[in-house]
Amino acid sequence: MKKQQVATEIIVKDAHQNNLKHVNIQLPKHEITVFLGESGSGKSSLVFDTVAAQSRRELNETFPSFTQQYLPKYGQPEVGEIENLPVAIAIEQKQLTGNARSTLATYTGIYSLLRLLYSRIGDHFVGYSEVFSFNLPQGMCPNCQGLGYVDDVDESKLIDPEKSLNEGAITFVSFRPGSWRWRRYGDSGLFDNDKPIKDYTPAEYELLMHAPKQPFPNSPAAFKSADYEGVVPRIVRSILHSSEGKHHQDAINEVVTQRECPVCRGARLNQQALSVTINDVNIAKATKMNLVQFLEFLQGIKNNLGDEIIRSLTTKINPLIEIGLGYLTLDRTTSTLSGGEVQRIKIAKHLTNSLSDLLYVFDEPSVGLHPHDIQLIKKALLKLKDKGNTIFVVDHNPVLFTIADHVVEVGPQAGAAGGEITFTGTYPELRASNTLTGEWLRKPHQLATPHEPHEFVALDHVHLHNLQDVSVKVPMGIMTVLSGVAGSGKSSLALALKRKLNGNYVDLTQQAAGISIRSTPVTYLNLLNPIRRLFGKNNGVSTQLFSYNGKGACPRCKGKGITITDMAFMDPVKQVCELCGGKRYSQEALQYQYHGKDIAAVLALSVDEAVDFFAAEPDLVTPLKRLQEVGLGYLGLDQSLTTVSGGELQRLRLAQTLGEKGQTYFLDEPTAGLHLKDTAQLVELFHRLVAAGNSLILVEHNLDVISQADWLIDIGPGAGIYGGQVLYSGIPAGAMTTPTSVTGQALTEYLKTD
């Protein structure tokens, strides 16, 4: 029988997902392929939305249909065929949204093993591993329910005593009269709804505000299946300690202060669990150790009964330390981990498995990492490849390009002008090519001439997170970069400066504040209504006709652009609406035009195209040009902002504030997701902002930015407890002669690049 030849390439035929222009490409297996090109050129459309999505979809289809309904859904990619496709594992840049009970130790499975270790070899036996869990009644501190902190609720900010329930006496958000939360009290029959709170008897006030969860007194008909609960415990349970809390964070901050639990002192566990020790260390103290310290603690345990558990713990911890996360403490809540830290945790997990011949797909693993940390990522990716796997990396950082066996550039530009393969080959061949990236890689590196500071803001004896007694003078009126390895204390120093400035600054972080599923560039910049008014005025009809959420919606798809057919156990079938052709609008709305285009065609324009289209409308062109200035010209006017990266959102918010003078801007890695060309454009914008009298404070690792800064404050030398010191403060050139500055060393290497 003839032995079948093992396939050496993944063959993609006719990929036309998003902006891909019917791409055909062969991608080598068991090698590292780096995909590069401008932001929005189509890299992710090829790698994630086509190859990885098809793999995960086909893998799901191997399970019974009953099981498939519980698995993640991946739509059918727009592709002709993909041959020799391995099972894909996509490791993306996403922060974890875990609640206060989710820690590094619980997320990685380390805590389960640690609980087992304490139950097995602790100095005395108090029960099995459940006794050491702060998430179970057997182990949690009864006072704080295993959270380690208690919430103090300021009732004076929850209640207006001058008002009755009908008048809105409960002032907390989502308790307005008539709302479903309000009805638990207003329709209960327990209170006089027209009686001001100040006139309640002590018993009535206690029932309204503090009653624990219980069956309804006298069971009013409206609440036969529900329990009654006072306002304070209800807010604590259903808002503070649930996922809903993130939607009401500002309101919560107004009424709640957190303090360490006075019973467990933040340890989360009851006294029985805390009484058990190994080498005089209880389990709470063990979780306060960072990974390096914890490994040393394990190595000091001499008890044969625990050998197997300690081996398993060591196997989990070593890869995390090797990939540069040794500074993280086991009790670190997962919601405070950065996207880069989460991605490295996932990489470390895969380094320890025995699986082979997989396709690992990485989304910008260099984001948030100092050049020193990127070397650790490179080692990890090589290890994964050496285990017989195929590695795809989407990234913009030249430091990572050098690891590639194979390079694919997508372009030539972004958006509609992209979606083509402009280069395939090796990294040296890319550097010699005439492609966009090749030309930028050959540009010489040099330091900018720094501007003089206008003044300094002194930070004296700062104690914050890992900053211990740090003093430094931060210059204003120029572009200052805070640098250092991941976790060194850059963001903590920025926070200390924000507190010193007492709110007198513009904070442009990467958080998706104010972004919803309906948010688009035109809604975010408040341009949608002016565009609708143009259509209404130009055609002499109502502006409301040009809203697909209202009167202008296609009657068949209700403004969604697609129709969805439920197929029971199978994936729902999504089809472009036959009536509107996916345009979302009714035929009546689409018959009206402005400069030869209907409303759907106008909203389908990119920002770059819209600047030309609306040339005669300065009120529209001015904000759109600001998007071009921050490198977002490729975004579609009607593109959902839930599909853009944190770096893109940050630049979108920066565009909103351009034109103002005398501001202090805080930016957190603004170059995340940017091509070399786009980074250079952004740096030019930063110089213009400084020339206009603004101060820029950037937390950044990108050497293209650091080399062009006016001032550098380098923090380190390591991360966590191994960092938190100011290693250097001055013009960037000075860091290169500071032996302790890893940023200075990286800058020296960067300037050597020809």
Average pLDDT over residues 680-707: 94
pLDDT band at 538 (very low <50, low <70, confident <90, very high): very high
pLDDT for 70: 79
Prediction pTM value: 0.84
pLDDT at 657 over 60: yes
Asked whether 531 and 623 are in contact (CB, 8 A), the reply is no
pLDDT, residue 441, reads: 94
Q: Which two tokens stand for residue 668?
A: 């957190």
Looking at residue 301, its amino acid is I
Cβ atoms of 628 and 635 closer than 8 Å: no
C-alpha dist (Å) from residue 679 to 632, 651, 670, 685, 691: 12, 12, 9, 10, 18
Q: Are 77 and 314 in contact (CB under 8 A)?
A: no
Written as six digits, the tokens of 336 are 């405070």
Query: Which amino acid appears at position 246 of this protein?
Result: K
Compute the average pLDDT of residues 679-702.
94
**DSSP state for residue 238 in the 8-state scheme:** I
Strands 149-153, 256-260: pairing is: antiparallel
Give the percent of the chain with pLDDT over 90.
65
| Total residues found in the chain within this entry | 754
Note the pLDDT of residue 224. 60
Please tell me the predicted confidence (pLDDT) of residue 494: 96
CA distances to 111, 240, 244, 332 from 99, in Å: 16, 10, 11, 12
Q: Which of 232-246, 373-387, 445-459, 531-545 has the lowest mean pLDDT?
A: 232-246
Q: Could you tell me the pLDDT band of residue 5, with boundaries at 50, 70 and 90?
A: low
- Stretch 108-137: mean pLDDT: 95
Q: Judge if the upstream peptide bond of residue 412 is cis by omega within 30 degrees of 0.
A: yes
Q: Compute the distance between CA of residue 548 and CA of residue 534 in angstroms, rounded to an integer.
A: 16
51-55, 179-183, 440-444: which range is least confident on average? 179-183
pLDDT above 90: residue 700: yes
Q: Are strands 420-425 and 455-464 parallel, antiparallel or unpaired?
A: unpaired
Structure tokens at 35: 């995909």
pLDDT for residue 2 is more than 60: no
Which residue, among 254, 217, 225, 223, has the nearest Cα to 239 in the 3D structure?
254
* Pair of tokens at residue 116: 């087992």
Predicted confidence at residue 407, as pLDDT, reads 98
Q: Which of 309-313, 355-359, 616-620, 648-652 has the lowest mean pLDDT?
A: 648-652
Q: How confident is the model at residue 472 (pLDDT cuts 50, 70, 90)?
A: very high
pLDDT tens-digit readout, 184-214: 898 888 899 999 999 999 999 999 999 988 8
Single out the residue of 399, 499, 278, 418 nearest to residue 703, CA to CA.
399
Residues 6+ apart with CB under 8 A from 647: 367, 510, 669, 670, 671, 672, 673, 674
Give me the residue label for tokens 């001015």: 622
**DSSP H or E stretch at residue 111:** helix 110-121
User: What are the φ and ψ backbone dihedral angles of 503, each rounded to 5 degrees?
Assistant: 85, 0
How open is the CA angle 492-498-503, to the nearest 5 degrees?
150
Alpha-carbon gap, residue 587 to 686, rounded angstroms = 46
Instruction: Give the residue among 724, 713, 706, 693 at the shortest CA–CA distance from 474.
Output: 713
Residue 735: closest CA among 390, 439, 482, 506: 482
**What is the β-pairing status of strands 479-483 and 711-716?**
parallel
Residue (of 212, 215, 238, 217) closest to 225 by Cα position = 215
How far apart are the C-alpha atoms of 341 and 325, rounded to whole Å? 8
Mean pLDDT computed over 275-287: 97
Q: Which pLDDT score, from 0 to 100, does residue 220 have?
A: 61
Residue 308 has pLDDT above 80, yes or no: yes
State residue 605's pLDDT score: 93
Mean predicted confidence (pLDDT) in 298-311: 95
Between 119 and 234, the higher pLDDT residue: 119
Token pair belonging to 265 = 């002192």
**pLDDT at position 568 over 60:** no
Cβ 29 vs Cβ 7: under 8 Å: yes
The H or E element spanning position 589 is helix 587-590
